[in-house]
Amino acid sequence: MTQRLIDKLLSITPIKRQNATEKALCIVRLDVVGDYILTRNFFAPFKEHYKDYKIVFIGNSIIKGLSVVADSPYVDEFIFLDHSIWNQYNEYIHSRRHAFKFLRYLLKFFIKRYNELLMLKKTHYEIAISPILPWGDILRDDIVMKHLDASFKVSVRHEPFVDRGHHYVYVSDGKISHFYTHLFNIPKVSKFLFEFHQDLFSAFFKTFKGVDLAPVPFGMELPPSSVLKESSQKLLNGLSSRYGVLNLGSSDFFRCYRYFNRIVRYLNEDIQLVICGTTPTEAKEAAKLVKAHKNAISLVGKTSLLEYAYIIKGAEFALGNESSIAHFAAALKVPYIFILSNGSSYATFHPYPKTLCATHHVIYPTEFANLRESKKIWEQRDVNTIKPSAVIASIKEHAPHLLKENTPDDIDKDYFIEEV
């Protein structure tokens, strides 16, 4: 309802368009880290094949510092939209315990989103592209695309995946096709997101440029840390020459593993353990883990996303939940990556195809194997049913030097768990 009112106001607001001095092409991607990392490598072909265009990236404010550093070789202009307005709306809608706080946010939402969309409407683009997967609803990216002034608006045709039976309601093509000029069909199969983008952008370049897009390499190249501000360089220089990263957090609570304390005590203490995260709860957990590993430090809540990327870049191993660390570590070529997953978003975000990252190892709950075989891969399971011994077994198989000598195969026998 609120967005409809914003749409109505924008439709009657006089727009003073900026005089276009050059042709421009924009790519819209408002999701955060994982989706961004699996999209950004396709900026390069646009820079190559649209040399006479200004390439614009419209993204999420969360990734601003990182994207400007990593993508400047391919992007001429960055526009970052407020994360709290575009990505946290549902959190407030579904949690109305504090009416005054909710109303205050709603007012902020209305004013901020209206102003950001008004700002976007002032620039004309020759081509605007939204590569987001069709989840069956009008998404925030679609809202931006609707209000952009572009001669060609390109996206993916919204139709249900055959194997995504958990989405029961789908938006008909007619509901969005009135503001898109080109909708590319996608195969009705689940696919790793980077490979989906390869198919989508190959179709785009074939249609708009008549060229066959070569396979785009996956990865992230960061400039030397000397480009960072002094405080960031000091943070990085304070780390040991050999270290690994453990990230405790995730965007969803059901992805967070509770038993890293049982794993940390068996890690090789000659390799520093750098514990990262963002929330106060994760800070408390990190304080406990530091006591279990004599060569561990906690940087929970002490790093920016850009600093975090540089920390992962220098790591010998990465361990964590199914979160940004999984994609950062793969893109930055960390030698050993161990990710714990409850199975949600299977195929789209994990496991990584070996052609993209051969060192990416995912540990799932045992029962998820049966769900995968029955193609009920949307049915998530509790990540905490993964036994610590399973994680140790994966590390022992792929990188035994990361563990202490004589680490037992079944570390679960070391514990008595009181049932409440």
Mean pLDDT, contiguous 10-residue spans, the chain (420 residues): 83 78 91 94 97 96 97 97 76 58 81 91 94 69 91 77 37 59 77 92 95 96 95 97 94 82 96 96 94 96 97 98 95 98 84 95 82 59 89 96 91 54
Model pLDDT, residue 209:
95
As a whole number of angstroms, the longest Cα–Cα distance in the chain is 73
Model pLDDT, residue 419:
42
- Would you state the structure tokens that stand for residue 147, as one six-digit string? 């209000």
Residues 404 and 396: beta-carbon distance below 8 Å:
no
d(CA 302, CA 352) in angstroms, rounded, equals 29
Q: Domain 225-414: give its CATH code.
A: 3.40.50.2000
Model pLDDT, residue 165:
38
Distances 330 to 319, 325, 327, 353, 416 between C-alpha atoms, Å: 12, 8, 5, 11, 36
Transcribe 223-291 into DSSP letters. --GGGS-HHHHHHHHTS-SSEEEEE---SSGGG--S-HHHHHTTB-TTSEEEEE--SHHHHHHHHHHHH
Model pLDDT, residue 344:
80
Asked if residue 223 has a cis previous peptide bond (ω within 30° of 0), the answer is no
Model pLDDT, residue 292:
94
d(CA 403, CA 265) in angstroms, rounded, equals 9
- Would you state the structure tokens that stand for residue 205, as one six-digit string? 């370049």
Counting beta carbons within 10 angstroms of the beta carbon of residue 74, is it exposed (0 to 12), middle (13 to 18) or buried (19 or more)? middle
d(CA 317, CA 300) in angstroms, rounded, equals 18
Using a cut of 0.85, tell me whether the model's pTM lies above it. yes
Model pLDDT, residue 388:
94
List where CATH 3.40.50.2000 sits in the chain: 2-208, 225-414
Model pLDDT, residue 175:
55
d(CA 66, CA 134) in angstroms, rounded, equals 26
Fold of 2-208: Rossmann fold (3.40.50)
User: Helix-strand-coil percent breakdown of the chain, rounded to 5?
Assistant: 40, 15, 45
Nearest CA to 332 out of 252, 233, 223 is that of 223
Model pLDDT, residue 172:
42
Model pLDDT, residue 420:
36
Model pLDDT, residue 184:
87
Angle between helices 140-147 and 2-12 (to 10 degrees): 10
